[in-house]
Structure 1
Amino acid sequence: MEYKSINWNRENYLQFIEKLKSLKDEKYLEFHKKLVTTNSEIIGIRSPIVKDIAKNIAKGDWRKFIAQEIKGYYEEIFIRGLIIGYIKDDKNIVKDEIERFLPLIDNWGICDGFVANLKIIKKNREYFFDYLKKLIKTEEEYKVRFVLVTFLSYYMEKEYIEEIIKLCSQVKNKSYYLKMAQAWLISILFVKFPERTLEFLKDNSLDPWVHNKGIQKIRESIRVTKEDKELVKTLKK
C-alpha cells in the first residue's frame, strides 16, 4: 500500500490501524510478547514490514500522520518513532520531534529501535550532545535509557569519552532497563577504549550491580581478548 500519497485524517488513520491489525503474525506475536514488557497492545508485525511502512509514510505528509490521536498499539507507536529517523528535514525539527516522541516510550524495544534509526545524530553529534546532556538529568526511565543507548550508538569517539563516563556514573535510577543500558554502555566503552575503561572500572561510584553486569558483558564480547576478559574479572565488586 502507498502511504506517501495519503492526506491523513481521522477516518483514514483508523483504516490504517485496521490494516496494521491485518498484518498480524501470531507466531511473531507470541515471540515478541516474551521479549518486551509494555502497556501498549502488541499486534505482532515483523520489524521489516513496520520499517517499510514508516519509510513510506515519511515520504508523504508525515506531520498530519503523527498529529492523529494514538490508539495505543506497540507497532503504531514504533512507526511514529521510525518516521522521525526517516524524515529528510532540519536537525532542529528532528530534535523537536524527538522531544515529542520520548514520552510515548515505555519499553526497551521501541527505545533502542528508535535510536538505531536516528542516523541524523551521527552527522550532527555536537548539536545533539548538548541536548542529551540535559536530557540525562531527568528521572524518567526511558528518556535516560534513550540517552545512554544514543551514546553507545553514536558517540564512541575520543572527544566524548570523558563526559560520557561522568554522565554514566551520575545515573542512579535503579530500574532494570536503565541499569542494563549502563552496563551495555560500559562494555562498548571497553571495546573502543580498553585502557580508559579499565581505569574507570578500578575506581568508580557505579551501583555494584551495574559495575558487575558491565564486566559480565565485557567478558561475553567476542571483541575482547581472553587476557582482558580475565583481567576485568578480577575487578568485580
Structure 2
Amino acid sequence: MRKQAPVEKIHESYSRITDDSVMIGDNIQQQLIALAEEDYRVFTSGLLPDTDNVLGVRLPMLRKIAKQLVRSDWQGYLQTAGEDSFEEIMLQGMVIGYAACPAEERLFYMKEFVPKIHNWSVCDSFCAGLKFTRNNSALVWDFLKPYFQSERAFDLRFAVVMLIFYYIQEGTIREVLNILDSVRHDGYYVKMAVAWAISMCYVKFPEQTMFYLKNNSLDDFTYNKSLQKITESLKVDKEIKKQIRVMKRK
C-alpha cells in the first residue's frame, strides 16, 4: 500500500467533519490540531504579526465545524469553548454568526465575544458573519454606539468594520461619516479600518464623501490612507483618481 500524502491526510480529516457527531470541549481542540497545516500556519502567522497562537487550519474547515456545532448545543459549546488558539476564537465567532436565535440573544453573545478579538482577522470575519444586522439595523446600531467610545483598539475596529458591512447606506451615510471623523485612537488597525470605511463611503456615495474629505478632522495618516484606498478601488474612474492623489497632505 502506498504511503498517504500529507494533502490526502488533510482531506481525509476534513471529510470527517461532515459527520453530525461534532463534539464540544477538548475534542474540538483535537480536531483543529488534526486539521492544521504547517505551511498554512506560517502563512497565516505572517499576516497576523501580533498573534502567536495560530494552528494553521483553513477557514472553510472552520466554517464546516461551526455549521455542525450550531445544529447541536451551541450555547453549551460557547460556555465551554477554549481560547488557546486563534482558530478556537475564530470558531466561536462563526458559531455566533451562524446560530439561529433571537436578535437579543445574539447580541448577548456578541458582547461576550468582542473582548476576545485581538487581531484584524478575527474581527473582520466575525463582523462579516453577523448578517442578522441587515434585518435588525436599529437594534445593532444602538449596540455599537458604546464601542465608538472605547479606548481598546479592537473594540473600535469591530464597530468601524460593522459600519462598513452594514451601514454605508443612503439613510445613514452622513452619520457614518460623522462617526468616522470622531474616532480617536493611535492604533494602526483602527486607523486602517477608518481609512477602509471612508474609501467604501466614497465608492458608494462619492459626492457626500468628497465634501467630507474637504472638511474633516482626520489625522494625516488616516486621511492619506483613505485617499490611497480610494485610488486602489477598481470602481473609481482613472480621472477621479488623479484628482484624489492631488489632495494628499504633505
Name the TM-score class by shorter chain: over 0.9
Match of 1:37 in 2: 49
Confirm whether residue 175 of structure 1 aligns to residue 196 of structure 2: no
2-structure distance, mates of 1:64, 1:4: 16
Tell me if 1:98 matches 2:71. no
* Secondary structure in 2 matching 1:70: coil
SS at match of 1:159: coil
The question of whether the paired residues in 1 share the 8 Å contact of 2:18 and 2:64 is answered with no
Question: Matches of 1:176 and 1:216 in 2, distance apart?
Answer: 15
Is 1:204 the equivalent of 2:216?
yes
Q: Secondary structure at the match of 1:88?
A: coil
Cα distance in 2, alignment partners of residues 3 and 121 from structure 1: 30
2:118 pairs with 1:109? no
What letter is aligned with 1:192? K
CA distance in 2, matches of 1:71, 1:160: 36
Tell me how far apart the structure 1 counterparts of residues 166 and 36 of structure 2 sit (CA, whole Å). Answer: 33
Is contact 1:7–1:61 with CA below 8 Å preserved after alignment? no
**Are positions 1:225 and 2:232 aligned together?**
no
Q: Does 1:153 align with 2:188?
A: no
Higher relative contact order (CA 8 A, sep 6+): 1
Greater shift in the superposed pair: 225-234 or 173-182 = 225-234
8 Å Cα contact 1:3-1:57 kept in structure 2: no
AA aligned opposite 2:227: I
Contact 2:45 / 2:52 at 8 angstroms: preserved in 1?
Answer: no
Is contact 2:164-2:200 (8 Å) kept? yes
Which structure's CA Rg is the greater one?
A: 2
TM-score normalised to structure 1 length: 0.94
User: Residues 80 and 145 of structure 1: is their aligned pair in 2 closer, same or farther, counting only changes over 3 Å?
Assistant: same
Letter in 2 for 1:105: I
Asked if the contact 1:111–1:145 (Cα under 8 Å) also holds between the matched residues in 2, the reply is: yes
Residue in 2 that maps onto 1:127: 139
**TM-score calculated relative to the size of structure 2:** 0.89
Equivalent residues of 1:3, 1:60 under 8 A apart: no
Measured against aligned partners, the alpha-carbon deviations of 1:49-105 in whole angstroms (never above 9, x if no partner) come to 011111110111011111115241110000000000000110000111100000001
Q: Percent identity?
A: 34
Q: 2:88 aligns with which of 76, 80, 83?
A: 76
Determine the structure 2 residue equivalent to 1:23.
35
CA pair 71-139 structure 1, distance change in 2 beyond 3 A: closer
> Residues 189-214 of structure 1, C-alpha deviation per residue, up to 9 Å, x if partnerless?
00000001000111100011000000
| SS state at 1:80 partner | helix
Q: Which residue identity does 1:174 align to in structure 2?
A: D
Whether the 8 Å contact between 1:58 and 1:83 is mirrored in structure 2 is yes
Rounded to whole Å, the distance in 2 between the matches of 1:211 and 1:189 is 13
Residue from 166, 171, 174 that aligns with 1:162: 174
Distance 1:7 1:52 in 2: 13
Equivalenced residues, count: 233
Q: Which residue of 1 aligns with 2:228?
A: 216
Q: What SS class does the counterpart of residue 171 from structure 2 fall into?
A: helix
